[in-house]
Amino acid sequence: MARTISYREAINEALHQEMERDESVLVMGEDNAGGAGSPGEDDAWGGVLGVTKGLYHRFPGRVLDTPISESAFVGAAIGAATRGMRPVAELMFIDFMGVCFDQIFNQAAKFRYMFGGKAETPVVIRTMYGAGLRAAAQHSQALYPLFTHIPGLKVVVPSSPYEAKGLMIQSIRDNDPVIFCEHKAMYDATGDVPEDSYTIPFGEANVVRDGEDVTIVAIGRMVSVAEEAARTLSSSGVEAEIIDPRTTSPLDTETILESVENTGRLVVVDEATPRCNLATDISALVAKEAFGSLRAPIEMVTAPHTPVPFSDALEDLYIPDAQRVTNAVKTVTEWKS
């Protein structure tokens, strides 16, 4: 039965149900069971924001509280995956990925290819991304484009509790390495989620809203920003079609192109910084494959090319908001050649 739960609860439920279903599923990460300075195992935090809470005692021996050494435990997770386990490693902030890049993009991402398709690496790396929690430049980046760039990785950016649960279960059952990017400002967002287990296939975009006038492709948390803009635009007679790719790799190019062929206008909303991000990637795709359909230049709404500011006022300006999306839509709908 579908009931309303939070993004955090949706991910937690997915982990619970998959650990219940499949003994090879493990969880590992920092602060699963308290971490430094806490009373330890009896005070199982479930990670820094409590996403894995309840798993430690429910599945004894299958939730590993790791030292603060990302290169060690991510490497361990990848190694375990090559031997048939299905580890879900929590790498607290996506900003910390730098210390274990070799394990992720030069090892896990390459095994299937380099061993002639015979090797499988069913590892999931859960990680938090995104600005908005006053966590400053080293804990607020939207780095999913980095992983999207690497062949051999699958990259998931869920935009709601429903997507989060179905995509997490699919990530665990998938036989390739998956980078699962959770927006840290969305954990308390709520939505309808079925109690039963279900999967959402990778590479299938969700058309969040139908519209004839403009296509807005939005990634992760930006989907709700685009929806807010679409409501405002609708009251002034502009109907936006919103597409949530759900996974940036693989990317459902067909749904995006079909929509732009219908609307003739594209706005891409991406919280990542503007060079080589999803906005540029999707803009290039549409410019090449649907150029003849475009009735106005493509607009990109992204963060500026700077680190995420610590100042509250500047951070608020940094994150793309509904007003900027509305302005971008007006630019493309009112454009005259």
Partner 1 sequence: MNDAIRKVVMPKWGLSMATGKITEWIAAEGDEIASGDELADIDTDKIAGSLESADEGVLRRIVANVGEDVPVGGTIALIAPADVPESDIDEAARLAREELDSGAVEEVAGPVTGTVEVEGRTLAYATLGDGEEHVVLVHGYGGDKNSWLFVQEPLSEHRTVHALDLPGHGESVKDVGDGSLDTLAGAVLGFLEAKGIARAHLVGHSLGGAVVTAAAAREPGRVASLTLVAPAGFGSEINAEYLRGFASASSRRELKPHLTALFADSSQVTRQLADDLMKYKRLDGVDKALNTLLGTLLDGDRPGIDAAPLLSTVEVPVAVVWGRADAVLPPANASGLGEVAFVDDAGHMVHMEQPGAVVSAVGRVAGDGG
- 71 neighbors 101 (Cβ within 8 angstroms): no
Question: Which x/- pattern, by CB under 8 A, does the window 165-184 give for partner 1?
Answer: -x------------------
**Min separation Cβ 54 and partner 1, Å:** 21
- 214 neighbors 332 (Cβ within 8 angstroms): yes
12 vs 255, which CB is nearer to partner 1? 255
**Min separation Cβ 217 and partner 1, Å:** 17
- 263-278 burial, b at 16+ Cβ within 10 Å, e below that, comes to bbbbbbbbbbbeeebb
Choose, by CB under 8 A, the member of 190, 197, 232, 262 that binds partner 1: 197
Choose, by CB under 8 A, the member of 37, 118, 196, 292 that binds partner 1: 196
Q: Which residues lie across from 249 on neighbouring strands?
A: 155
156 vs 319, which CB is nearer to partner 1? 156
Choose, by CB under 8 A, the member of 82, 199, 232, 331 that binds partner 1: 199
Dist. CA 11–CA 27, nearest whole Å: 12
Asked if 198 is part of the footprint of partner 1 (rule: CB under 8 A), the reply reads: yes
196 vs 312, which CB is nearer to partner 1? 196
The C-alpha angle 195, 78, 55, rounded to 5 degrees, equals 35
Distance between first and last Cα of the chain: 52
Dist. CA 235–CA 242, nearest whole Å: 16
**Pairing assessment for the beta strands 25-29 and 2-6 based on DSSP bridges:** unpaired
Stretch that binds partner 1, among 87-95, 152-160, 202-210, 326-334 (CB under 8 A): 202-210
Question: Which x/- pattern, by CB under 8 A, does the window 68-107 give for partner 1?
Answer: ----------------------------------------
In the Cβ-directed half-sphere of 7, how many Cα atoms lie within 13 Å?
19
Dist. CA 61–CA 326, nearest whole Å: 50
Stretch that binds partner 1, among 103-111, 200-208, 266-274, 291-299 (CB under 8 A): 200-208
Choose, by CB under 8 A, the member of 157, 200, 269, 301 that binds partner 1: 200
Concerning whether 149 is annotated as a catalytic residue, the answer is no
**Min separation Cβ 199 and partner 1, Å:** 6
**Min separation Cβ 196 and partner 1, Å:** 5
- 211 neighbors 237 (Cβ within 8 angstroms): no
Closest alpha carbon to 226 in 159, 134, 143:
159
Considering 16, 57, 139, 305, which one is annotated as catalytic?
139
- 2 neighbors 30 (Cβ within 8 angstroms): no
- 322 neighbors 267 (Cβ within 8 angstroms): no
Choose, by CB under 8 A, the member of 67, 98, 194, 297 that binds partner 1: 194
Stretch that binds partner 1, among 127-135, 196-204, 284-292, 300-308 (CB under 8 A): 196-204
**Pairing assessment for the beta strands 190-194 and 2-6 based on DSSP bridges:** antiparallel
Which residues between 203 and 262 bind partner 1 (CB under 8 A)? Answer: 204, 206-207, 210, 254-255
Binding site for partner 1 (CB under 8 A): 1-2, 162, 166, 192, 194, 196-201, 204, 206-207, 210, 254-255
Active site residues: 139
